[in-house]
Structure 1
Amino acid sequence: MSQGKVLIVLSDADSFSVEKADGNIKEEETGFFMTELATPLESILDAGYDVEFASPNGQTPNIDPLSKSLLAYMGNYFTKKKDEQMIEKMRIESNLYAPRPFREVTDAQLDSFSGIFIPGGHAPLTDLGADPDLGRILLHFHKQRKPTAVVCHGPYALLSTQVAPGSTGFAYKGYKITSWSDQEEGLIETMKGGRIEKVESALRDAGADMQTGTAKKMGGITVDREVVSGANPFAVKGLGTQFVQMLNSGVEAKN
């Protein structure tokens, strides 16, 4: 018997922008980061929850190519294989490859979801931070204090609450949140040779109380009210476990 249902938000984007020194914009391939979806998803499913996927326009999501490399798994072939099998299982058994457009997820239907989860990869930078319908969806979970899990670049999606219909501003002002850090993005900028939008700075500028430090980068998570957040792929196991605990409790977790 199902314990409830979780909405998983994905980006439609298969690229993100890198601004070169000469002002030109180069698009780099991206998508969702495989382990950032697969590992928390395993915890959600094992706990007996059903899942449904949604994205801005319902397009088939792309997998970030870097996230499919053994390098991303620190050489752990078996963990990589396990995550690949989870994604394939979802392709067959769920609507992962045909997500519902945000506009089709009505306010009434949102009542049927116990929580919401947004994985990372650079894709959210392209189309999640300024999507009014996603802002509407997130405001539902925020106002109802339903568990909300975000990891890596996923927290960038929280900015969409600023452009939701009837919004009075950033819904998570004052929340303690952890995301992919400016320092970590700086390393990617060096690799790509250009400027990339910064999740940490964008959230801080909007009013979030950003949590950083070595412990967060090495897998520590941050919990504040209904939101659990993590900085990078090292956080995915702990994030999934905490999210399920929050779902099971039916109320917001305490710091």
Structure 2
Amino acid sequence: MPAKKVLIILSDAHTFPLKKKSGPDAGLVVDQPSGFFLQELAKPLQKLLDAGHEVTFASPKGREPAPDPNSESLLAYAGNFYERRKEMELIEHMKRTNGFDRPRPFSTFSEDELATFAGLFIPGGHAPLTDLGDDPELGRILRFFNKENKPTAAICHGPYALLSTMKAGDGSFVYKGYKITSWSDAEENLMETLWGGEVEKVESALRDQGAIMVEGATEKVGGTTLDHELVTGGNPLAANALGDRFLKMLSV
């Protein structure tokens, strides 16, 4: 496969808003630590690099991204110490060689440069809830990829970033009517119970704007959804399948 350029969208946020429902902070909105979910970034990223593609990292303001602390735990890797080490080392390698810790601000990409990218990928983690869904510059970028029918991939909370298209252009949601899979409301409800607070729901937010949300048993165990140029997955179990499907789309 000829080498192509892929734009990877990251959040600048190291936390996301959590409205506490109980305890001394009941009713208050607190900052819950988060960032990119390691597996959801590393697995598709490794596949892109193995295929010889060139990746460019971008974020709202170009700040150093942070991993979601939960995603670096051995529990997240079902105790597989070696897999976790390999994926953490990949991110460190990207810092040394590819400017991962200095992503380019969205505003620095002209349409002429966006045209040189073959695809775009948005990993998950709760951080996108903070600064990607309402970013007009990201909306401009996504609108361009949508208009040009360029392969676009998003996983877990990453699809929340698609809402940014309403902050650019004519204000419409360009993925209205698309079939999309994301982190589900049911999965978020479990996290809310763990944290004792309320979180913005990705599935509901996208459905409210006209997306056709595809959820169920298949998606819970790593299934992906393809519609037009957009491929999406719901949770870390989908990371490998999403990466494979995205690679296939880039090869066309």
Common fold by TM > 0.5: yes
Match in the other structure for 1:183: 186
Match of 1:227 in 2: 230
Structure 2 length normalisation: TM-score?
0.97
8 A Cα contact 1:30 1:65, kept in partner: yes
CA distance in 1, matches of 2:171, 2:180: 20
Counterpart position of 1:8 = 8
Structure 2: stretches of 5+ with no match in the other structure = none
Deviation per CA, 1:8-54: give whole Å up to 9, x if none: 00000000111123321111110000111100001111111100000
Cα displacement (A) at 1:167: 2.4
Rounded Cα–Cα distance in structure 2 between residues aligned with 1:73 and 1:198: 25
Tell me the secondary structure at the aligned position of residue 97 of structure 1. coil
Aligned residues between the structures:
248
Residue 212 (structure 2) aligns with? 209
Aligned match for 1:243, one of 233, 238, 246: 246
Q: Are the counterparts in 2 of residues 40 and 241 from structure 1 also a CA contact under 8 Å?
A: yes
Asked if 1:157 corresponds to 2:161, the answer is yes
What does residue 98 of structure 1 align with? 102
* Cα offset, 1:2, TM superposition: 5.9
Correspondence list, 1:5-154, <5 A: 5-21=5-21, 22-154=26-158
* Structure 1 residue 78, shift from structure 2 partner: 1.6
> 2:170 & 2:145 partners in 1: Cα distance?
14
The Cα offsets for residues 118-145 of structure 1, whole Å up to 9 and x where unpaired, read as 0000000000000000000001110000
Consecutive unaligned residues of structure 1, counting only runs of 5 or more, are: 250-255
2:61 partner SS: coil
Secondary structure (helix, strand or coil) at the match of 2:35 reads coil
SS at match of 2:94: helix
Secondary structure at 1:160 match in 2: helix
**% identical aligned pairs:** 56
1:5 shift after superposition: 0.4
Query: Displacement, 1:108?
Result: 1.2
Amino acid at match of 1:20: K
Which consecutive segments of 4 or more residues in structure 1 shift more than 6 A? none
Deviations 1:199-219 (A, max 9, x none): 000000011000000110100
Aligned mates of 2:222, 2:170 — CA distance in 1 = 33
RMSD of aligned alpha carbons: 1.0
Instruction: For 1:151 and 1:185, locate their aligned partners in 2 and report how far apart those are by CA, in whole Å.
Output: 14
> 3-state DSSP class of the match of 1:171?
coil
- Give the conservation status (yes or no) of the 8 Å contact 1:2–1:50: no
